[in-house]
């Protein structure tokens, strides 16, 4: 189900230096102020849908997302880094097309986009309270206040908050001093899939017979040398070597520990 807005038919967006898309012109300038108006690109839409998925166990309803955004598809390129988008009749949740998502900001406080932000904030707080042992339960008001403060600081510095960062600030929110790793539970399953993939790969390649190589005279000589080395006793001193030759102190003993040489003088 798509949102209806007769006057909202197209918009022209530009790629900012922050690599986000910002609305430059819109077909309904009476109700829409393009100053600081941002739009989600298809990649960001997909990322947000991934982030809200874990919240389904905590009451998340996908209808809030669909109601909060107008879908747009690429119409044509106007200039480098500037494209014209046309309204799409497809649902952001059901279509396979790459759609942009324009937040419904016609009513900042009571509109569908405001409802969406409130909904995901409550779901996120519920999930954090379930997965993290806080000394005191986290409240929706605490999260909203902290996020609002960060946005106000950005505004004071002259930076507009893009809709993508506004949404992900909630969906990725974790109180300072705490950690939350949702990937640990998925790791064993991923390892099993890798192991299965390895087994399949091994089955695809049959065992190859080893090639027999005919020995030549050089290889026979090498085998004879190996046999001689195996028969050699490491503790025996090779014949033909002078007993007086000093090979060094292999064990690291000092001179005082060596046996004294016998005197050759007759008594």
Question: What average pLDDT does range 14-34 have in this prediction?
Answer: 95
pLDDT at 7 (0 to 100): 85
CA 69/CA 48 separation, integer angstroms? 12
Selected residue with higher pLDDT from 178 and 215: 178
Question: What average pLDDT does range 93-119 have in this prediction?
Answer: 91
pLDDT at 148 (0 to 100): 94
pLDDT at 197 (0 to 100): 36
Phi and psi for 87 in degrees, rounded to 5?
Answer: -60, 145
User: Is 0.75 topped by the overall pTM?
Assistant: no
pLDDT at 6 (0 to 100): 58
pLDDT at 215 (0 to 100): 53
Weakest-pLDDT range from 48-52, 158-162, 177-181, 222-226: 222-226
Asked if residue 2 lies in contact with residue 69, where contact means CB atoms within 8 angstroms, the answer is: no
Asked if residue 78 lies in contact with residue 85, where contact means CB atoms within 8 angstroms, the answer is: no
Q: 150 falls in which pLDDT band (50, 70, 90)?
A: very high
Q: Could you read off the pLDDT of 166-178 as tens digits, one per residue?
A: 999 999 999 988 8
pLDDT at 240 (0 to 100): 45
pLDDT at 106 (0 to 100): 87
Selected residue with higher pLDDT from 181 and 148: 148
Q: Please tell me the total number of residues recorded for the chain in this structure.
A: 267
Asked if residue 157 lies in contact with residue 210, where contact means CB atoms within 8 angstroms, the answer is: no
Selected residue with higher pLDDT from 260 and 181: 181
Question: What average pLDDT does range 51-61 have in this prediction?
Answer: 97
pLDDT at 260 (0 to 100): 42
Question: What average pLDDT does range 199-222 have in this prediction?
Answer: 46
């Amino acid at each position: 189900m798509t949102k209806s807005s007769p006057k909202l038919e197209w918009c022209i967006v530009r790629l900012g230096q922050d690599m986000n898309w910002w609305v430059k012109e819109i077909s309904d300038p009476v109700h829409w102020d393009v100053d600081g108006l941002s739009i989600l690109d298809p990649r960001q839409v997909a990322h947000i849908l991934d982030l809200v998925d874990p919240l389904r166990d905590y009451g998340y309803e996908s209808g809030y997302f669909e109601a909060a955004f107008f879908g747009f598809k690429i119409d044509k390129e106007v200039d480098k880094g500037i494209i014209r988008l046309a309204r799409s009749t497809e649902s952001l949740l059901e279509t396979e097309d790459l759609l942009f998502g324009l937040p419904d900001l016609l009513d900042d406080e009571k509109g569908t986009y405001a409802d969406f932000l409130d909904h995901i904030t409550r779901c996120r707080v519920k999930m954090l309270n379930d997965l993290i042992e806080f000394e005191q339960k986290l409240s929706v008001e605490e999260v909203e206040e902290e996020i609002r403060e960060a946005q106000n600081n950005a505004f004071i510095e002259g930076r507009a908050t893009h809709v993508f960062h506004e949404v992900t600030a909630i969906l990725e929110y974790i109180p300072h001093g705490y950690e939350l790793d949702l990937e640990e539970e998925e790791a064993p399953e991923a390892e099993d899939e890798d192991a299965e993939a390895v087994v399949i790969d091994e089955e695809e390649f049959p065992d190859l017979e080893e090639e027999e190589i005919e020995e030549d005279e050089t290889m026979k000589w090498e085998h004879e040398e190996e046999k001689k080395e195996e028969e050699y006793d490491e503790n025996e001193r090779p014949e033909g070597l002078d007993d007086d030759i000093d090979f060094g102190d292999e064990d690291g003993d000092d001179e005082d520990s060596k046996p004294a040489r016998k005197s050759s003088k007759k008594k």
